[in-house]
Each structure stands twice: as structure tokens, then as C-alpha cells.
């Protein structure tokens, strides 16, 4: 979970491969895609090579490298656009590279068709809502066909503005609109037309505004498949599994098919929605806990058959130290940062775990971001 951390290529961009014509007309000015001017083969080869180098440089190496999964374009289900109204005209798009200027974007090759439809309508639909020369960020997320919208930077609203937001939701086909009116504030929902609900396995979860989901459904499916592959030695449906940094249940839901799941998460909103979902599933237990300050210890993990952890980009050093002293047979580590993953993987291997395998899942086409899934088994 959390934002991804870019890989750092050791060579200049020109050495990564011959240039090709970018598919996007905005490539030269938009601050989004970094590597559209590489062939797909060169781009994918560079990404796999970079991950391998980072892992091996960290002093660890899996026994098996699975074939990488590369998620194609037009699959991104979450995106944040910038928007501003000047002289009554609304510009929507992304910031120019290393600039505060907004590049007007009419078409994005990354996002789902449902979000592309919203993007095309935004300049007209947002005109009554925006204040002159006040820039806002517009977060959109397609959650199982329902589009959630969070607008950051829009001044506080009155009755007329609420009416404008209702028309905005209707015109763009949005399920919900929430506002963040001041820095550091939580999103406050103003328009709520349809429940924003996500199925994770057989677990149904009401998703809070702007909640973190994996960037694409295809990427999420690949990550879940890699986790299930790593747990294939667990037989039956009565296993005990801990899901650490569980978020809104991306992995907890599918894990319920293998047994009883303890989902541990710090974010109060996430914990609240998971607890509501748990009432309909007696195999799920939810615990609110700051795993950086209070990692789950070996004694608490007695009797558990597996632990899955999906920390933010900083990794989970303190939790890895506790796991290294535990007797848990299988540890699955999902990471968005190969550097912190390699550090924590070394802690696990030095604690007696065998680094069985690693799966690369690239759901960030044309960028330097990546997800990986490592499988560790306690040596017997």
C-alpha cells in the first residue's frame, strides 16, 4: 500500500535503448509518463533489470524469479488531475514536468475508459464549481464501476455550491463527491448518490473517500495471484493468517478462503470499514495498530501459518525484525519499493528464512514505479 518509489536507473536515458515515437501527443510536456519514447521491449527489459540489480545489491537473491507481469495501458483506475479556471475557461490535466503550470490533457493513455469519459467532460462540467484562478486537485477512482471523486482546494461551500456539486455528479456520472477544504483535513462527503463498495474475494467493503486501492484491477489480480501461489503449500481452509498493513482488505478478502484472518491496520477509516465487513464474516478479525511503533511480536504469532505484509514505501524494518524471531512458516512481503524490500528481506534471511521467490508486477506502464511480491519460508 502507499505510494510507489521510483527505480533509479544507473545509466542515462539515452542508453536504455533507441527512441520510438510516443503514443501520447502530450509526452514532451506532461510530467506523467517517463518512458513512452522507449520500445515496450526495451522499457520492460530495463524495469526487470533494475529490480534485479537493486535486490542483488541489497545482499539477497530469491531461488526463483517468476516471469514479470506487465499490465497494459488504459487500465489505471485511479488518477488525480489538476484544474483551474481563468477567464471563465477551465483547464484540466497534469502539471508540466517540474512546473506548476497545468498541461491541458484531452486524452490519457493510462486510465480506464470510464475515467477518460469523465476527463473529456471536465472542462465544461467544472466551470460552475470552480472559483476564478483557484487551482484544485481532482482525484477520481473507479471502484467496481462506481466513480469516487475527491476535490482538494475548493473553498468552503454554501447551498448554491452544493447544488452545483450535485449537478456535477449527475453530469459526470459520479457516485460520490467529497471535498478537502483545508490542508491536512479529511475528505468530507457532500454528494453521496451510490454506495462505493468493493469486492475483495468474497468480502464486501464500503470504501472511504480517496481510500488507497491498487492502481489497476489487473495489477491487483496479479498481486493476489502471486500471494496465493506463495501460500499454495497451505492445505484446507482452517489456517491462521495475519495480514499486516491490511488497508481496506485487498488481500484479507481473498485470504479468507484459506482460513481465519487477522487484519492489522493503523488508519482509523480503513479499520472502521473492515470492522463493518467483518460483521458479515466470522473468519475476519480486525485490529487497529501502528505497526511502526508496535510491531506484532513472535509470541503473538504463535500458531499462525502465514503472515502477509504490505507496508508503505518506507518498508517495515521493525516488523521484519520481529518476524525474523518468529516461528511462522511462511512470510509473504508485498512491496512498492525494491530498496526497502531488499533491506527487510535481508533481515528475514539472516533470521533463518529462505527467500523462495520474487514476482515483479508492473502496473505503472512507462514509469519507474513497480510492485514486487517476495515469498519467504522458515528453514526446517
> Taking a C-beta distance cutoff of 8 angstroms, is the pair 128, 121 a contact?
no
Catalytic residues: 336
Average pLDDT over residues 200-209: 94
Q: Final residue of a domain: which of 169, 195, 221?
A: 195
In the predicted structure, residue 129 carries a pLDDT above the cut 80:
yes
Contacts of 63 (CB under 8 A, 6+ apart): 354, 355, 356, 357
Q: How confident is the model at residue 4 (pLDDT cuts 50, 70, 90)?
A: very low
Higher pLDDT, 325 or 162: 325
**pLDDT score recorded for residue 15:** 63
Tell me if 200 is assigned to some domain: no
Tell me if 345 is assigned to some domain: yes
Tell me if 5 is assigned to some domain: no
Q: Are residues 113 and 51 in the same domain?
A: no
For the chain, what is the radius of gyration of the CA atoms? 22
**338-350 vs 317-324: helix crossing angle, rounded to 10:** 20
Tell me if 166 is assigned to some domain: yes
Tell me if 26 is assigned to some domain: no
Q: How confident is the model at residue 54 (pLDDT cuts 50, 70, 90)?
A: very high
Mean pLDDT of the chain: 93
Q: Are residues 66 and 106 in the same domain?
A: no
Tell me if 64 is assigned to some domain: yes
Write down the number of H helices and E strands in the chain: 8, 18
Q: How confident is the model at residue 7 (pLDDT cuts 50, 70, 90)?
A: low
In the predicted structure, residue 1 carries a pLDDT above the cut 90:
no
Q: Final residue of a domain: which of 195, 230, 264?
A: 195
In the predicted structure, residue 3 carries a pLDDT above the cut 90:
no
Q: Are residues 188 and 291 in the same domain?
A: no
In the predicted structure, residue 94 carries a pLDDT above the cut 70:
yes
In the predicted structure, residue 314 carries a pLDDT above the cut 80:
yes
Average pLDDT over residues 72-98: 94
> Taking a C-beta distance cutoff of 8 angstroms, is the pair 304, 330 a contact?
no
Q: Are residues 82 and 59 in the same domain?
A: no
**pLDDT score recorded for residue 246:** 98
Average pLDDT over residues 227-242: 96
Q: Are residues 95 and 158 in the same domain?
A: yes
Q: How many domains does the chain have?
A: 2
Q: Are residues 231 and 368 in the same domain?
A: yes
Determine if the pTM surpasses 0.95: no
> Taking a C-beta distance cutoff of 8 angstroms, is the pair 313, 369 a contact?
no
Record the cell numbers describing residue 281, joined without a space: 464474516
Q: Are residues 114 and 190 in the same domain?
A: yes
Q: Are residues 130 and 153 in the same domain?
A: yes
In the predicted structure, residue 302 carries a pLDDT above the cut 70:
yes
Domain enclosing residue 136, as ranges: 78-195
Q: Is 123 exposed, middle or buried (0-12, 13-18, 19+ CB in 10 A)?
A: middle
Q: Are residues 68 and 85 in the same domain?
A: no
Average pLDDT over residues 174-179: 97
- The 10s digit of each residue's pLDDT in 270-284 is 999 999 999 999 899
Contacts of 146 (CB under 8 A, 6+ apart): 175, 176, 194, 195, 196, 197
* 3-class secondary-structure state, position 40: helix
In the predicted structure, residue 360 carries a pLDDT above the cut 90:
yes
Q: Are residues 180 and 314 in the same domain?
A: no
Q: Are residues 225 and 342 in the same domain?
A: yes
Task: Give the separation between CA 124 and CA 91, rounded to whole angstroms.
Answer: 10
| CATH number, domain containing residue 280 | 3.40.50.150
Q: Final residue of a domain: which of 131, 165, 195?
A: 195
Categorise residue 17: left if φ over 0, alpha if ψ from -120 to 50, beta otherwise: left
Q: How confident is the model at residue 290 (pLDDT cuts 50, 70, 90)?
A: very high
- The 10s digit of each residue's pLDDT in 180-200 is 988 888 999 999 999 999 999
| CATH number, domain containing residue 143 | 2.40.50.1070
* 3-class secondary-structure state, position 54: helix
Tell me if 128 is assigned to some domain: yes
Average pLDDT over residues 111-133: 97
Q: Are residues 340 and 222 in the same domain?
A: yes
Task: Give the separation between CA 317 and CA 339, rounded to whole angstroms.
Answer: 12
The size of the chain, in residues, is 380
Tell me if 271 is assigned to some domain: yes
**pLDDT score recorded for residue 325:** 98
Amino acid at each position: 500500500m502507499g505510494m510507489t518509489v521510483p527505480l533509479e536507473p544507473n545509466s542515462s536515458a539515452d542508453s536504455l535503448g533507441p527512441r520510438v515515437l510516443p503514443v501520447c501527443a502530450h509526452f514532451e510536456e506532461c510530467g506523467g509518463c517517463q518512458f513512452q519514447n522507449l520500445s515496450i521491449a526495451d522499457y520492460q527489459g530495463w524495469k526487470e533489470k533494475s529490480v534485479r540489480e537493486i535486490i542483488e545489491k541489497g545482499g539477497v537473491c530469491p531461488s526463483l524469479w517468476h516471469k514479470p507481469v506487465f499490465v497494459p495501458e488504459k487500465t489505471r483506475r485511479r488518477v488525480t488531475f489538476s484544474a483551474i479556471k481563468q477567464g471563465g475557461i477551465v483547464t484540466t490535466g497534469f502539471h508540466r514536468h517540474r512546473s506548476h503550470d497545468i498541461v491541458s490533457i484531452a486524452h490519457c493513455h493510462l486510465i480506464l475508459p470510464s475515467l477518460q469519459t469523465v476527463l473529456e467532460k471536465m472542462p465544461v462540467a467544472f466551470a460552475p464549481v470552480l472559483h476564478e484562478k483557484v487551482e484544485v486537485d481532482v482525484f477520481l477512482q473507479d471502484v467496481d464501476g462506481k466513480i469516487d471523486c475527491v476535490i482538494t482546494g475548493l473553498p468552503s461551500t454554501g447551498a448554491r455550491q452544493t447544488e452545483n456539486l450535485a449537478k456535477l455528479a449527475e453530469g459526470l456520472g459520479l457516485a460520490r463527491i467529497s471535498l478537502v477544504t483545508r490542508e491536512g483535513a479529511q475528505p468530507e462527503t457532500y454528494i453521496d448518490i451510490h454506495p462505493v463498495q468493493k469486492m475483495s474475494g468474497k468480502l464486501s467493503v464500503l470504501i472511504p473517500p480517496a481510500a488507497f486501492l491498487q492502481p489497476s484491477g489487473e495489477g491487483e489480480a496479479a498481486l493476489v495471484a502471486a500471494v496465493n501461489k506463495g501460500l499454495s503449500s497451505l492445505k484446507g481452509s482452517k489456517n491462521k493468517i495475519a495480514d499486516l498493513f491490511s488497508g481496506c482488505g485487498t488481500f484479507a478478502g481473498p485470504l479468507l478462503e484459506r482460513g481465519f484472518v487477522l487484519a492489522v491496520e493503523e488508519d482509523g477509516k480503513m479499520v472502521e470499514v473492515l470492522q463493518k465487513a467483518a460483521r458479515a464474516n466470522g473468519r475476519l478479525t480486525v485490529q487497529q495498530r501502528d505497526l511502526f511503533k508496535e510491531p506484532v511480536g513472535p509470541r503473538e504469532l504463535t500458531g499462525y501459518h502465514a503472515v502477509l505484509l504490505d507496508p508503505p514505501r518506507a518498508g517495515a524494518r521493525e516488523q521484519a525484525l520481529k518476524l525474523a524471531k518468529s516461528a511462522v512458516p511462511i512470510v509473504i512481503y508485498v512491496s512498492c519499493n525494491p530498496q526497502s524490500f531488499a533491506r527487510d528481506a535481508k533481515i528475514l534471511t539472516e533470521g533463518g528464512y529462505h527467500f523462495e521467490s520474487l514476482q515483479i508486477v508492473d502496473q505503472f506502464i512507462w514509469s519507474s514505479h513497480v510492485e514486487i511480491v517476495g515469498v519467504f519460508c522458515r528453514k526446517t
